[in-house]
Amino acid sequence: MRKVTLLLAAALLTLPGAVLGDIVVLKNGSRMEGVVSEHGNKLHVALNYGHVVLPKSLVDHVIICDTPRQKLKKKLAAADQNSIEQLTSLQQWCAENDLKEEAGKIALKIGRLVLGKKETRLDMKDAGAIFDFALWCKRSGYPDSVVESYLWKVVSLKPEHSTAREMLGQGRFRGQWLKKTEIAGIRRAEYDKEMRLKGMVKYKGQWLIPNAASCLKQMEDIEEQRDDLDRDRQHLEDDRRDAAREREEVAAARSTLYFEQNRLQRREDVLERTALRQAALAQRLAFHRDELARLRLEVDRLKDELEREKESLREQRRETDREKHRLQQLRCRLECEWRQLRQAKKKKNDCRPVTDRPINPKKKIGSEEHTPGRQSSTDREREASRRKRVRR
């Protein structure tokens, strides 16, 4: 959504210089003019400084309008091609809508129409009128081919018209009208022939006597030799400067080489010390490795001894547990026997006659000791303490 907003902002900024065409009305009320083309769910609007891509969800509707060129095409189809006034108004409309190429084409049509109308009123047998018309064409900016066509008509009607001949680039020579270039060539050939008859020699476009020509050649040869010597001297100076520069470069290279050699020597020394340090570290590392291996063996031995001690402790604990279990079984057996003995004793006492029992005069007859079939409080406490010990 942010990208679409930025595109809309850019389109609205470029709207004053947009190409006239279709009008795109957005849902927020904004408008932009340009050539609209549809691509799927998007609209491409071509502006003067680029194009904008709009999703159809942001567009309310599009007003299809003709582009300036399409409007011009319709105007040209509706206008009279032989009417200078209509074509002139179309030319002004093209200039206002920045259609320079079309305006130039319309101007050319207007010129042809004006030329044709003037030519229809022109007397083609009057050399003076035709010449004046040629001058008007030249002042009006018509092509040189058009002006020359009317000048040739003037020459055909009046061969001795000197002004028309001069405008065509001709001159009178020995009773004939020839081009000035042809006249210059004929005169040059005659002059060369006359100089040869006089024994002159042509040297670099000039006619000289033979001795002067040979002297000039010798002088030029000397000048060329001098120039060659100067060039050789300059080359020699350049070579000397190059040699001096090369000597300086060699000296700089030697100093650089000496510096590099010293640096390499220092680096070799550093590498050698580093190698010695690494060797010492390797020896120390080997010693520590051996020590570590020995310590590991010692740790393994201690672990084995610890495991054996643990096993012996576990064996002793099992033996102790067995002994405790045996003692507990023995205690239980003794308690059972003791309980059986008490019960037997109690039954025996219960089976005796009442007269045979000793009577304690200090105790009442309704006390616990005289209650048959019940234990005393002291017996109950002893039994409870015994059970607690058994549970433990």
CATH number at residue 17: 2.30.30.100
Same domain, 40 and 74: no
φ/ψ of 369, rounded to 5, equals -70, -25
Predicted local confidence at residue 367, as pLDDT:
44
Predicted local confidence at residue 306, as pLDDT:
92
Ordered alpha helix ranges (H), the chain? 2-13, 68-78, 84-96, 100-120, 127-139, 144-157, 162-167, 180-197, 210-351, 377-391
In angstroms, rounded to a whole number, what is the distance separating the alpha carbons of residues 172 and 159?
11
Is a pLDDT exceeding 50 seen at residue 5?
no
388 part of a folded domain: no
381 part of a folded domain: no
Most confident of 31-45, 112-126, 191-205, 234-248: 234-248
Same domain, 111 and 88: yes
Same domain, 90 and 55: no
| Of 127-136, 258-267, 313-322, minimum mean pLDDT range | 127-136
Predicted local confidence at residue 353, as pLDDT:
54
CA 201 to chain centre: 73
170 part of a folded domain: no
CA 332 to chain centre: 95
Average pLDDT over the chain, rounded to whole? 77
Q: Count how many domains the chain has.
A: 2
Q: What percent of the chain has pLDDT over 70?
A: 79
Q: Which of 121, 138, 165 is the last residue of a domain?
A: 121
Average pLDDT on 210-218 reads 73
- Residue 371: pLDDT band with limits 50, 70, 90: very low
Is a pLDDT exceeding 50 seen at residue 162?
yes
Predicted local confidence at residue 176, as pLDDT:
80
Joined together, the tokens standing for residue 363 give 């105790």
In angstroms, rounded to a whole number, what is the distance separating the alpha carbons of residues 253 and 215?
55
Same domain, 73 and 61: no
Average pLDDT on 302-325 reads 90
Identify the domain containing residue 24 by its residue range. 2-65
77 part of a folded domain: yes
57 part of a folded domain: yes
pTM of the model: 0.35
Looking from the CA of 40 toward its CB, the CA atoms found within 13 Å total 3
Strand partners, 45: 36, 52
233 part of a folded domain: no
- Measured from the Cβ of residue 312, the count of other Cβ atoms closer than 10 Å reads 10
Joined together, the tokens standing for residue 280 give 């010492």
Average pLDDT on 127-149 reads 78
323 part of a folded domain: no
Contacts with 19 (C-beta within 8 Å, 6 or more apart), sequence order: 33, 34, 35, 46, 47, 48, 67, 68
36 part of a folded domain: yes
Which one has a higher pLDDT value, 274 or 93? 274
- Residue 271: pLDDT band with limits 50, 70, 90: very high
Cα-based distances in Å from 112 to 40, 119, 370: 48, 10, 166
Q: Which of 106, 121, 136 is the last residue of a domain?
A: 121
Most confident of 92-101, 134-143, 332-341: 332-341
Beta pairing class for 50-55 and 59-63: unpaired
Q: Which of 84, 102, 121 is the last residue of a domain?
A: 121
| Of 8-22, 176-190, 296-310, minimum mean pLDDT range | 8-22
φ/ψ of 100, rounded to 5, equals -70, -40
Residue type, 324: K
